[in-house]
Amino acid sequence: MKIRAADKSELMEISKIEVKGDDLVLKGKVYGAMPMTAVVTPEEARKFGKMLTPKLVWFLLTMPFRKGAK
């Protein structure tokens, strides 16, 4: 999975997601070169949950079925 900037340049490529204890661990590369391991703790996941609205939850659930940019 790639995360891109507004100008479509690649910021990060996530190649693996795993669980380590109570944390979510994301592994990949930043800017296509530098290896990265990011950790999402339960506290940070709760902060993310507070930002969710019903409209955003619906968008996230339907996003894999959308066509995307051409």
pLDDT in tens, 30-49: 998 899 999 999 999 999 99
**Residue 42, both tokens:** 């339960």
pLDDT the model gives residue 70: 61
Q: Can you give the pLDDT at residue 68?
A: 81
To the nearest whole percent, how much of the chain has pLDDT over 90?
A: 90
Kindly report the average pLDDT of the chain as a whole number: 93
> Would you state the pLDDT for residue 32?
86
Q: What pTM was computed for the model?
A: 0.76
Radius of gyration of the chain measured on its C-alpha atoms: 14
